[in-house]
Amino acid sequence: MSTTVKVTAAEVNKLRQATGAGMMDCKKALVEAGGDFDKAIEVLRKKGQKVAEKRADRDSSEGAAVAKINDSQTEGVAIVLGCETDFVGKNENFLALANQLADIALNCNTKEEFLAADFGGMSVADKLVEQTGVIGEKLDITSFEKLSATYVGAYVHINKIAALVGLTAKVDNADVLAKDVAMQVASMGATTLSYKDFDPAFVASETEARIAVIEKDNIELGRLGKTLKNVPKYISMAQLTPEVLAQAEEEAKAELKAEGKPEQIWDRILPGKMERFISDNTTLDQEKCLLDQTFIKDEKKSVAAYVATYGDVEISGFKRASVG
- Which residues lie across from 118 on neighbouring strands? 123
**What are the sequence ranges of the domains in the chain?**
9-54, 62-188, 196-311
> What residues form DSSP beta bridges with 167?
151, 315
Question: For the segment 55-105, what is each residue's pLDDT rounded down to a tens digit?
Answer: 666 677 899 999 999 999 999 999 999 998 888 888 888 999 999 999 999
CATH of 62-188, one of 3.50.50.60, 3.90.15.10, 3.30.479.20, 3.90.1150.10: 3.30.479.20
Helix spans in 55-173 (H): 86-89, 92-105, 111-116, 124-135
Q: Are 128 and 167 in contact (CB under 8 A)?
A: no
Is there a contact between 147 and 75 (Cβ–Cβ < 8 Å)? yes
Is 1.10.8.10 the CATH number for 9-54?
Answer: yes
Other residues' Cβ atoms within 10 Å of the Cβ of residue 185: 23
Element (H, E) at 52: helix 37-54
pLDDT digits (tens, 9 = 90+) for 33-51: 888 888 887 787 777 666 6
Bridge partners (DSSP) listed for residue 146: 77
Are the CB atoms for 27 and 37 separated by under 8 Å?
no
* Residue 314 backbone zone (phi > 0: left; psi -120 to 50: alpha; other: beta): beta
CB atoms within 10 A of CB 226: 11
Alpha-carbon distance of 318 to 162, in angstroms, equals 11
Q: What pTM, to 2 d.p., does this model score? A: 0.76
CA distance 81 to 84: 10
Q: Is the dihedral of CA 19, 24, 25, 30 positive or negative?
A: positive
Q: What is the pLDDT along the chain (324 residues), one digit of tens a residue?
A: 345 678 788 888 887 777 666 677 788 888 888 888 888 877 877 776 666 566 666 677 899 999 999 999 999 999 999 998 888 888 888 999 999 999 999 999 999 999 999 998 889 998 898 888 777 788 999 999 999 999 999 999 999 999 999 999 999 999 999 999 999 999 998 999 999 999 999 999 999 999 999 999 999 999 999 999 888 889 999 999 999 999 999 999 999 999 998 999 999 999 999 999 998 899 999 999 999 999 999 999 999 999 999 999 999 999 999 998
Q: Which amino acid is at 88?
A: V
Contacts of 186 (CB under 8 A, 6+ apart): 155, 156, 157, 161, 162, 163, 320
d(CA 158, CA 152): 20
